[in-house]
Chains A and B, each alone.
Chain A
Amino acid sequence: MKPSVRNLMARPEMAALLIFFALLVVFSVLNDRFFTTGNMTVYLQPIPEIAIVAMGITILIIAGEFDLSVGSVFGLSPMVTVLLMQNGWPTAAAILVGLLIAALIGFGNGLITLKLKIPSFIATLGMLFMARSLAVVLAGGFPPIFPRELNVSWLVGRLDLGLVTPRVSLLYMIAIALVLGFVLRRMDFGHWIFATGGHPQAARDMGIKTKRVKMACFMLCAALAGFAGIIQSFRVKVIVPNLGTGLEMQAIAAAVIGGVALTGGVGSILGAVVGTLLIAMIENILILSGVNANWFMFAVGAMIVVAVVLNTQTRLKAEGMKG
């Protein structure tokens, strides 16, 4: 086998990509309503919101840390933004503060994890509750009304592509994915992220400030979660304090299906996107087929296991073929 094929097989998102295309074909054959313009439009709708969170999680896991608080930040950021708009703030400034609050939460996660040397799993579990509580307290028992007349077309308007009409947020997602992918693969900071997660001791001994790298990833992950929350609340034109509850599990599942290794140092942005597409596709086909929606979690769980097993096997195979 050629080295190029071997390198391709060793890529972390390979298993997810294979499953994705396989299921795309299978579902299209099984259900003639699946691969239709109407259904594809519906299918693509929530993708950017989950994928953007999954990308942040992916980068943080590559750096060797973890964030369970993304679902809560996903709810807190738009809560702050909408409250500020309600108080007469211009949209741009309100969004900026919403994102800053998210980054601040990420900073807090980083501080607790890195300075106090507590596993990020625990630190961000605490933050999951704290940030959610903040969102509830800010809502004041009665969620603020989303300004209905607000122009949101620049963020979540319909994008007329002829066949399908996804939201503009899909473009934001693609732009973010391209930028993050570029940073990870082509920029020195991306190398530092991989080194920090792949072998922290080696990274430190080679002069990389691993704590700074991790802190940047914590903040980026939280800011992306906040942005994704703002997109969702702008799309549904509603803000409730429990927005994004349980989202952390979906985002982590997407990242893991996309080939991120919980041990750090392995993963890709494309994987996060494909992982998200897969989870949403499963949900979509279940609804479309009229299957009891409670099977959704079963399907996602099974897919996590299948994807990770497939990933491990292809990687082992690729490594076994030393040319």
Chain B
Amino acid sequence: MNVAANPAPAVEEPIIKCVGLQKWYGAVHALKNVDFHAARGEVIGLVGDNGAGKSTLIKILSGVHTQDKGEIFIEGRSVSITGPEVAMGLGIETIYQYTAMVPEMSIAQNFFIGREPLKFGRPGFGIVDREKMAREAMEGLRGVGLHLRGADTPVKALSGGQRQGVAIARAMHFRSKVLILDEPTNHLSVKETNKVLDHVVELKGLGVTSIFISHNLHHIHPISDRIVAMARGEKIADLPASEISVDEMTRMIS
């Protein structure tokens, strides 16, 4: 699984670039002038202790919060990410620790939440294409090696790992360019965790950029091309994963 030895090409325009990002929550300066970039197909491990600012950074990228200062470029174009739907429209998909699934709703419904394929009408006033939803959800799941009974199954009947698989399949279906994984392996078994890590490696092969956040540095290190470490709202390190060991990472952020 050692893909770190095969770094992504660094010559082209970074798929995502942030310059001088700042964010205050009231009096708390959560993000202090942070620069960040990622190339196509690159896997970045974003590490840091609680309150280091990594959550703030990815919340800005996924549209949950908006930066107070600084600029974000997607494929060289300046963008303003005012909401999750804007981020998703730009090809930034986020996999949350809690999976962002509605337990009572079916796999197919969860797959297309907020962007249902329509037979008729326009978004917000349209008739959903249920056959297409079921078909494409199942195709998407097979694409990530998940073989579930049926698209009608409510998500509450799935295990944590299966839910995370559905979330990844969902992100893939919408042709994400950048995948943000926010602690996706918390609460998962070892086997399920390995599955998620495998997905990230597969996606790299498809040219998808991943930003992987985890407290478990042993999860992050083997699959990352580059490690970005944060502390107290600042970026304190940004270096190829091959140049740093897990022990050194631990010392750096604690």
| CA A323 to CA B152, docked complex, whole Å | 13
Shortest CB distance B117–A (Å): 9
Q: Give which listed residue, A3, A189, A198, A203, contacts B150 with CB less than 8 A.
A: A3
B192-211 contacts to A (CB < 8 Å): none
| CA A10 to CA B157, docked complex, whole Å | 12
Q: Give which listed residue, B104, B105, B114, B152, contacts A208 with CB less than 8 A.
A: B114
Q: Are A198 and B105 in contact (CB under 8 A)?
A: yes
* Residue numbers in A under 8 Å from B114 (CB-CB): 192, 195, 203, 206-208
Q: Are B98 and A194 in contact (CB under 8 A)?
A: no
Q: Are A195 and B128 in contact (CB under 8 A)?
A: no
Cβ-based interface call for A317 (8 A): no
Shortest CB distance B43–A (Å): 22
Shortest CB distance B11–A (Å): 33
| CA A201 to CA B118, docked complex, whole Å | 24
Number of residue pairs spanning A and B whose beta carbons lie under 8 angstroms apart: 91
A186-226 contacts to B (CB < 8 Å): 186-189, 191-192, 194-195, 198-199, 201-208
A2-30 contacts to B (CB < 8 Å): 3, 7, 10
Q: Are B125 and A187 in contact (CB under 8 A)?
A: yes
Which of B83, B85, B104, B126 has the most CB atoms of chain A within a 10 A radius of its CB?
Answer: B104
| CA A257 to CA B159, docked complex, whole Å | 31
Which of B84, B99, B154 has the most CB atoms of chain A within a 10 A radius of its CB?
Answer: B84
Give the nearest-CB partner of A194 in chain B: B105
Cβ-based interface call for A70 (8 A): no
Shortest CB distance B197–A (Å): 23
Shortest CB distance A149–B (Å): 41
Cβ-based interface call for A265 (8 A): yes
Give the nearest-CB partner of A187 in chain B: B127
| CA A203 to CA B85, docked complex, whole Å | 11
Give the nearest-CB partner of B109 in chain A: A191
- A323 with B127: in contact, given A202-B100, A203-B102 (CB under 8 Å)? no
Q: Are B105 and A189 in contact (CB under 8 A)?
A: no
* Residue numbers in B under 8 Å from A208 (CB-CB): 113-114
Cβ-based interface call for B88 (8 A): yes
Q: Are B102 and A265 in contact (CB under 8 A)?
A: yes
Cβ-based interface call for B26 (8 A): no
Which of A201, A206, A265, A319 has the most CB atoms of chain B within a 10 A radius of its CB?
Answer: A206
* Residue numbers in B under 8 Å from A7 (CB-CB): 152
- Secondary structure at the A interface, as helix, strand, loop or mixed, is helix
Q: Give which listed residue, B64, B116, B121, contacts A205 with CB less than 8 A.
A: B64
- A207 with B83: in contact, given A187-B125, A202-B113 (CB under 8 Å)? yes
Q: Mark B53-67, 1 if CB is under 8 A from A, else 0.
A: 000000000111000
* Residue numbers in A under 8 Å from B118 (CB-CB): 188
Cβ-based interface call for A115 (8 A): no
Cβ-based interface call for A322 (8 A): yes
Q: Give which listed residue, B62, B63, B126, B152, contacts A187 with CB less than 8 A.
A: B126
Q: Are B115 and A207 in contact (CB under 8 A)?
A: yes
Shortest CB distance A64–B (Å): 11
| CA A42 to CA B101, docked complex, whole Å | 46
| CA A195 to CA B108, docked complex, whole Å | 13
Which of A194, A199, A266 has the most CB atoms of chain B within a 10 A radius of its CB?
Answer: A199
Q: Are B105 and A205 in contact (CB under 8 A)?
A: no
| CA A207 to CA B171, docked complex, whole Å | 13
Q: Are A198 and B84 in contact (CB under 8 A)?
A: no
Q: Using CB atoms and an 8 Å cutoff, list the residues of chain A in contact with chain B.
A: 3, 7, 10, 186-189, 191-192, 194-195, 198-199, 201-208, 265-266, 319, 322-323
Can you give 23 contacting A-B residue pairs, CB < 8 Å? A3-B149, A188-B116, A188-B118, A188-B121, A188-B124, A188-B125, A191-B105, A191-B109, A191-B112, A195-B113, A199-B102, A199-B103, A202-B101, A203-B113, A204-B64, A205-B62, A206-B88, A206-B114, A207-B85, A207-B115, A265-B102, A266-B104, A322-B157
7 closest pairs, A vs B, by CB? Answer: A207-B85, A198-B102, A188-B116, A206-B114, A199-B102, A202-B100, A207-B84
